[in-house]
Amino acid sequence: MKSLLPFIRLFRHQWLMMLVGVVLTITTLMAGIGLLSLSGWFLSATAVAGLTVATAQAFNFFTPAGGVRFLSIMRTASRYGERLSTHEATFRLLTDLRIWVWRKLMPLSEKNLAGVRRGDLLNRLVADIDTLDHIYLRLLTPLGGSLLMIGLLYLFLSMFDASLAAALCGALLLAWLALPLVFYMLGKTPGRKLVASKRSYRVELLEFLQGQGELTLFGARDAYRTRLDSAEQALLDAQKSMADVTSLSQSALVLASGGVVLLMLALAANGVGDNIPPGPLFATMVFAAMACVELLMPLAGSFQHLSACVMAAERVTEITSQEPDIQFPEVSDASLVSGALQISDLGFSYHSDGLPPVLNGFNLTVEAGRKVALLGQTGCGKSTLLSLITRQWQPDTGSILLDGHQINDFTQAELRRGISVVSQRVYLFAGTLRDNLAIALMPDENGKAPRVDDEQLLQVLNRVGLQTLTQGDKPLNIWLGEGGRQLSGGELRRIGIARVLLRDAPLLLLDEPTEGLDKRTEREILALLFEFARDKTVLMISHRLTAMAQMDEIHLLEQGRITDSGTHESLLTNNRYYQSLYQRL
């Protein structure tokens, strides 16, 4: 239960809308119970008044009839308002929760998230946070509203008969305490299984869809589809178990409300207050008991989801409670102007279980304005080096200097402002072309988004050869969609370069930026990059030799160390490995 407290504290930001929802919930219950009670009294009183002509003529039909109509309209309006306000509060709470979790997640390094699968992380951000909306919508609101309504019902009925009011409200209070506890215990295991099976199914589905190419290539598609079917069946079984508990809870609530009605029939038959025989007030008490089924109905269902909420909160807290492995200073005088890079005795390993380190005593100097390439086979440590320079990981030993300052001395904003990375994968978000370009611009000192100059964006798009996207009316409003599916691979890379041009950082890191492109597109992309980086410092990693002739220096990397260095011409003359690589590629 303690795991829910941090999330409940966040609810205070939406206290007004939540309070409106609770008030309208109580108003709806009051109108419903009042409507049925008044209707019962009206029907009974009308029947009694009709026994003689004198009483029939003296009976006021209009006031109770007006009351019935008023309560009917009030119940409909308050029900609509209650649904509107509670769901609006829920959506706002979900927005606050996601923003809060995202802010906790952003500072975490790759090491913090090393044991979390990406599909599982997505599930925590989506499904687990969605599960937490039950706290307000199905737990706090029904419980608080029903408890307050029991108190108000006692005050109303005690005006007629205090003992009957105490008996009815006591029975309701007993049900309020017992039913949620019983169905929490019954729903505890199915609720946890439901959350776990949802997570498993989402992870399997995401990996199955993303890995279609590899699964088909290696003949593993059928095996993974079988695993996906098993995960789906487990989810269906968990949903069925939860549905069984739900149906049992509804049956128990109907039985409990029926028992309350029978109790009132038996007690009120002896008279209501001083009215013996009971008369129309008898119907008021019985009909009030019948109307209380609406008060009890949400209780059992709410506590079925409590275990799922607790488990979801634990899974989200597991991520948000972590301290970032990499810490940045709040304020620093270190600034990145020229992009000069010096790496000394760098050592790094992803594991501490005796495996050889990825980088071991690595040394590299890149002077300001020079273009340097690192070549090596997959797994030799090239991408790891870039991850250390951008501080996604922390080196085990050695130092990294940027413009003579230790990399740990830079604030996060200054480091991001001074380095641009072009990788083989360009991420596009579900948004417009303007939105996907504007993310390259750095926020101001107050963290506010920068002002976007449309003319500047159009110039950059034309510069990188995306004239086809700048045609028509308001081209920057083109919706790209998640991943930019309607764009070609070359267009995706060009958008990535456009972001680099907008950032205009002094140090440019190229992580195999032309991987998977055809030769013509590859030459065009590299030409754009080198034209832009004419006066900048460039460190490029690759296992291909395209554009190596334009590099000031080339280093051959093997098992975390530089084995040979030189220019393209000198390596072609003196290094057999480089010669064979050049002939093969």
Note the pLDDT tens digit of each residue in 95-144.
888 888 888 888 888 888 877 777 777 777 887 888 787 787 777 888 88
Rg (CA), the chain: 35
pLDDT-based confidence at residue 444 (cuts at 50, 70, 90): low
CA proximity to 294, closest of 474, 149, 131: 149
pLDDT of residue 401: 92
484: region left, alpha or beta (phi > 0 left; psi from -120 to 50 alpha): left
Residues 257-295 have pLDDT tens digits of: 888 889 888 888 887 776 666 678 888 888 888 888 888
Domain membership flag for residue 107? no
DSSP string of 151-165, one letter each residue:
HHHHHHHTTT-HHHH
Count of alpha carbons within 13 angstroms of residue 46, beta-carbon side: 11
236 compared with 293, residue with greater pLDDT: 236
Q: Which helix (H) or strand (E) holds 581?
A: helix 576-584
pLDDT over 70 at 304, yes or no: no
Residue 10 has pLDDT above 60, yes or no: yes
The answer, yes or no, to whether residue 145 has pLDDT greater than 60, is: yes
Backbone φ and ψ for 311, nearest 5 degrees, come out as -65, -40
Mean pLDDT along residues 509-528? 80
Q: Residue 474 and residue 466: Cα distance in Å, rounded? A: 15
Same domain, 443 and 525: yes
The predicted-structure confidence for 351-366, as pLDDT tens digits, reads as follows 765 677 888 888 999 9
Q: Which domain holds residue 484?
A: 341-584
Question: Does the structure show a pLDDT above 90 at 318?
Answer: no
Indicate the average pLDDT of the chain: 83
- Mean pLDDT of all residues in 392-420: 89
Instruction: Identify the pLDDT of residue 264.
Output: 87
Q: What is the mean pLDDT of residues 390-406?
A: 90
Q: What's the pLDDT at 443?
A: 67
Give the pLDDT mean for 206-218. Answer: 84
For 23-42, the pLDDT digits (tens) are 898 899 888 888 888 888 88
Which of 50-54, 315-319, 568-572 is least confident?
50-54
How many domains in the chain? 2
Residue of 227 and 131 predicted with greater confidence: 227
Please tell me whether residues 514 and 394 are part of one structural domain: yes
Same domain membership, residue 279 and residue 207? yes
In a domain, 335, yes or no: no
- Does residue 416 sit in the same domain as residue 565? yes
- pLDDT at residue 447 is higher than 60: no
Q: What is the pLDDT of residue 135?
A: 80
Determine, yes or no, domain membership for 331: no
Model confidence band, residue 159 (pLDDT cutoffs 50, 70, 90): confident
Answer yes or no: are the C-beta atoms of 309 and 134 closer than 8 Å: yes
Closest listed residue to residue 484, CA positions, set 430, 435, 438: 430
- The verdict on residue 51 lying in a domain is yes
- Whole-number pLDDT of residue 325: 84
Given this model, what pLDDT does residue 529 score? 83
Domain boundary residue, one of 286, 320, 354: 320
Tell me: do 351 and 257 sit in the same domain. Answer: no
Listing DSSP states for 282-320 in one string gives HHHHHHHHHHTHHHHHHHHHHHHTHHHHHHHHHHHHHHH
pLDDT of residue 232: 92
**CATH number of the structural domain spanning residue 415:** 3.40.50.300
pLDDT, tens only, 448-497 = 666 777 888 888 888 888 877 777 777 888 888 777 777 877 788 888 88
Q: What's residue 237's pLDDT?
A: 92
Nearest CA-CA partner of 476 in 456, 451, 491: 456
**CATH number assigned to the domain comprising residue 72:** 1.20.1560.10
Which residue intervals of 513-575 are DSSP H helices?
519-532, 568-574
Domain stop point among 285, 320, 355: 320
Q: How far apart are CA 201 and CA 228, in angstroms?
A: 7
Across the range 235-249, mean pLDDT stands at: 87
pLDDT band at 77 (very low <50, low <70, confident <90, very high): very high
